[in-house]
A = this chain, B = another copy of it.
Amino acid sequence: MARKHNPADPPPTISDATLRGFSGYVMKRAFNAIQADVNASLAPLDLRMLTFSALSVIVDNPGLRQSQLADALSIERPNLVIVVDELERRDLILRNPAPGDRRAYALQATLKGMRLYTKALGAVQAHEARMTKGLSEDERQALIAMLSRIET
């Protein structure tokens, strides 16, 4: 039998067992830990998860439009503007005029952007290894596959 603690005292241990049955709760906790760690990993390069993600997609898809980038990252176009502003201001990317459409930009990483991205990628890979060291590689892949199936 579980011995009841004196109700005049605070409970000696706190249970969040109910919440732990929900993937959203454990995911929030895991994501907060990951976000903090990746941001700390990228801070020496003056990048954050969001700016790194944007830079990555730009490096891998030269010439893409801002709206394509927003779609790819699942963020709203208005929120992407300041991200692209920041990357452009630091000369990591170029907003080239899109040939044939004067409304749009063709985004492209600069040499400086590609070099920084290479470093950042290494930092994020080290971060990933650190955060998932409690999982086997098969488990890590399974985790990614399951998370990919949860999106909207």
A interface list, Cβ under 8 A from B: 7-11, 14-35, 38, 49, 53, 56-57, 60-65, 68-69, 71-74, 98-100, 104, 106, 121, 124, 127-128, 131-132, 134-135, 139-140, 142-144, 146-152
Contact = CB atoms under 8 A, between A and B. Distances in A.
A23 B127 CA distance: 10
Given A18-B121, A24-B34, A29-B151, 19 more contacts: A10-B104, A14-B64, A15-B57, A16-B53, A16-B56, A19-B56, A19-B57, A21-B144, A23-B34, A23-B128, A24-B35, A26-B148, A27-B31, A27-B34, A28-B31, A34-B150, A132-B150, A139-B146, A143-B143
A31 B26 contact: no
A56 B21 CA distance: 12
24 contacts: A8-B100, A10-B64, A10-B65, A10-B104, A11-B61, A11-B63, A11-B68, A14-B64, A14-B71, A15-B57, A15-B60, A15-B61, A16-B53, A16-B57, A18-B121, A19-B53, A20-B148, A23-B34, A23-B147, A24-B35, A24-B127, A27-B147, A34-B150, A143-B147
A33 B100 contact: no
Contacts of A23: 34, 128, 131-132, 140, 143-144, 147
